[in-house]
Chains A and B, each alone.
Chain A
Amino acid sequence: MHVLVIEDDLEHAEFIEKVLSEAGHSVETAGDGSGGLSRAREDSFDALVVDRMLPEKPGLQLVEEFRNGGGTTPALFLSALSDVDNRVEGLKVGADDYLAKPFAPEELVARVEALGRRQVSGEPPVTVLRVGDLEMDLLSRKVTRGETKIDLQPREFKLLEYLMRHAGQTVTRTMLLEKVWNYHFDPQTNVIDVHISRLRAKIDKEFEHQLLQTVRGAGYCLQA
């Protein structure tokens, strides 16, 4: 992926660049709001990583202007302000995700990669998701693997849908809690892990090839 990082703190920008480059992405950086906005308009990036506190043009304003100007590149806010209110504010101006500082490198990579998979507008909506021989029909809400029909609880269905939409990418526990359960805090117990292992029991247990992998220290990855 080709990622534009707009961040004024040089050390922080370098860290983000390093983390994303190591994950195999090409990264460009901009140090202030106005410069970042013009770069975002000039080139086609796959994702924008925008700090909220920027000189010259605050991140909120930048993303708002970018969206008003017709820019569709998915954007992720980075901010030291982690309140729900701030998060909502960020999503309202057109950002696609929000990550509070400090963050684990894996979390950033996972979220940026998730952004790249956003459905391109104009394409007909997908009704069937496929990962290997695992198939999910979003209309009839049926899930099959090979010839075997798999029964899922509503929440398990949602969880699997999210994993399938981000197949091949690492998805963190926090992302799952946010996107599948809509909670913005960390439970201390391993509630997500337990849900994953239940799901795994349903989709992988009787099959030789394991689709749902645990990524150590980061999260999970569904891969064919």
Chain B
Amino acid sequence: MKSGPFAFVRTTTFRLALVYSILFALFSAGLLAYLFQATVGEMRAESKTRLEAELRTLANAWNTGGPTRLEQSVLERVLVDLRDFTYQFENARGETIIGDLPRMPIEPIEEVGVSREGVFEIERPGPEGGSVVTPIQALVVRLGDGSVLMVGIKMDERIRQVNRITRAVATAAPVGFLLALLGGFFSARYAAHRAETLTKTAQGVMSGDLSLRAPVGGSGDEFDRLAEQLNAMLARLETLMAATRHAGDSIAHDLRSPLSRLRNQLEARLRGPIDEVSARETLGETVEEVDRVLATFNAILRLSRVNAGAEGTLLPLDVSELCEELAELFEPACEDAGIAFSADIASNLDLSGDRTLLAQAISNLLDNAVKYTPSGQSIVFYARRKDARIEVTVEDTGPGIPDTDLERVKERFVRLDEARTHAGSGLGLALVDAVAELHSGDFTLTRGNEDIGLKATLSLSAKG
């Protein structure tokens, strides 16, 4: 959207304000029309009926007795001051016969017997000086001999009242229209401004700065809520992006070395003499090396997906049962390796968890224990409830890990020198950490009992 001083004109708010202003104006006009019709129109119609009746009576007088009879009738009426009629009678030459107006205020129609309606004002000196203006509604008709008769009636006070209302509304309506427009203008500008900050944030994010957040006004209005949602979405996106980028970096960095090693081996073999036996041997080694690379690759992908929350479905799970199964799975391997294995699993350890991921995490801990605990030593595997948490612990009496490395080994690809003699990707404990986080838990490594060996604890939040 182009911006400029009048950009708000295109906003929805402004358009709505405009529409409402126009509706308001139409409504005012309609109201006036109705008011006019209901009062002035009706009164005029009523007056006109009376005027017509009066005119008919006088015309009758003329018909029966000619001008003399008419003059007499009018004079009688003036003297009696019948109601509030006003009369003016001119002969064919335009000379006033009856009436106090200087001349006929309304031009009659030439055709005889057809009346014409009109309104005029007369000005008379008021009782306390100055002058009083009286509006007169009148009918004028030309009689058979060319003389002209006018009958007028004073317009009621109510009509003047209506006239005042009409004037008031006619003045107020444009002002109201202007005010509505002005209100529309300001609310549109406010809304446009708020929307503009959101647009700016979105543009900033699109241009690559994922750390941008939309400002939240704090009033809790719909724009604030929108901004909060937008910010939450951005935060999630940023996490996912970071996880993806981290995985990408790790893959690039950590697959490069085995691949380079592989390439060098192959090249070294190429330079030497090639017979079938050595070629077969080289190919076999190559397949093994590639398998290792692929395994690492899969492990990184899985770890990244768990870290990003893209893998793992939390369902009701009996950890006791899972641990019993794992104990049963690993017990023979320990026995074979000459390690004393004991398991102590409390029952009914229920939580909401992903069976496969938890099984893999615990299995990683048991794997490590079996790998690094020398023959003749022992492994204790226990699971129990501790307050609102469920703790799964694998404790061994092996060589342990130096205090300074206890945190570091949880990071990706960190392998201590002592571990390099064993196969492994350096991702096992990182996965345990990620799985713990997925289950809103912690993974801690400490020295074992009496400062001997290693104690690995997975602390998970229990259900409910």
Point out residues on A near B: beta carbons under 8 Å: 82-85, 100, 102, 104, 155, 181, 183-191, 194-195, 197-198
* Of A85, A190, A191, the contact of B311 (CB 8 Å cutoff): A85
Binding site secondary structure of chain A: loop
Q: In the assembly, what is the distance between CA of A206 and CA of B423, in Å?
A: 35
**Total inter-chain residue pairs, C-beta < 8 Å:** 51
Q: Which residues of A contact B336 (CB under 8 A)?
A: 194, 197
The 9 closest A-B pairs by CB, nearest first: A194-B332, A185-B360, A194-B333, A191-B333, A188-B367, A84-B356, A189-B370, A194-B336, A189-B367
Closest to B284 in A: A217
Please judge, given known A-B contacts A82-B298, A194-B336, whether A185 and B329 are in contact too, CB under 8 Å.
Answer: no
| B294 interface residue per 8 A CB criterion | yes
* Of B313, B356, B366, B371, the contact of A183 (CB 8 Å cutoff): B356
Contact yes or no, B363 A187, CB < 8 A: yes
Please judge, given known A-B contacts A85-B313, A188-B423, whether A195 and B356 are in contact too, CB under 8 Å.
Answer: no
Q: Which residues of A contact B328 (CB under 8 A)?
A: 155
Q: Which residues of A contact B330 (CB under 8 A)?
A: 189, 191
Q: In the assembly, what is the distance between CA of A57 and CA of B71, in Å?
A: 109
Contact yes or no, A83 B311, CB < 8 A: yes
Contact yes or no, B333 A190, CB < 8 A: yes
| B243 interface residue per 8 A CB criterion | no
CB distance from A47 to the nearest CB of B (A): 25
| B359 interface residue per 8 A CB criterion | yes
Considering residues B325, B333, B367, which has the most beta carbons from chain A within 10 angstroms of its beta carbon?
Answer: B333
Q: Mark B417-444, 1 if CB is under 8 A from A, else 0.
A: 0000001100010000000000000000
Q: Which residues of B contact A100 (CB under 8 A)?
A: 298
Considering residues A84, A181, A187, which has the most beta carbons from chain B within 10 angstroms of its beta carbon?
Answer: A187
Q: Could you list some 12 contacts between A and B, CB below 8 A? A: A100-B298, A102-B294, A104-B291, A181-B325, A188-B367, A188-B428, A189-B330, A189-B371, A194-B332, A194-B336, A195-B332, A198-B332
Contact yes or no, A185 B359, CB < 8 A: yes
Q: Which residues of A contact B335 (CB under 8 A)?
A: 194
Q: Which residues of B contact A195 (CB under 8 A)?
A: 329, 332
Please judge, given known A-B contacts A83-B305, A83-B311, A85-B311, whether A185 and B356 are in contact too, CB under 8 Å.
Answer: yes
Q: In the assembly, what is the distance between CA of A20 and CA of B325, in Å?
A: 35
Interface positions of B from 362 to 403, Cβ below 8 Å from A: 363, 366-367, 370-371
Q: Which residues of B contact A85 (CB under 8 A)?
A: 311, 313
Contact yes or no, B311 A188, CB < 8 A: no
Q: In the assembly, what is the distance between CA of A100 and CA of B295, in Å?
A: 12
Closest to A102 in B: B294
Q: Which residues of B contact A189 (CB under 8 A)?
A: 330, 333, 367, 370-371
CB distance from A75 to the nearest CB of B (A): 23
Contact yes or no, A185 B363, CB < 8 A: yes
Q: In the assembly, what is the distance between CA of A183 and CA of B362, in Å?
A: 12
Closest to B313 in A: A85
CB distance from B33 to the nearest CB of A (A): 68
Q: Which residues of B contact A186 (CB under 8 A)?
A: 295
Closest to B422 in A: A188
Closest to B328 in A: A155
Q: Which residues of B contact A155 (CB under 8 A)?
A: 328
Considering residues A82, A85, A155, A194, which has the most beta carbons from chain B within 10 angstroms of its beta carbon?
Answer: A194
CB distance from A166 to the nearest CB of B (A): 21
Q: In the assembly, what is the distance between CA of A195 and CA of B291, in Å?
A: 25
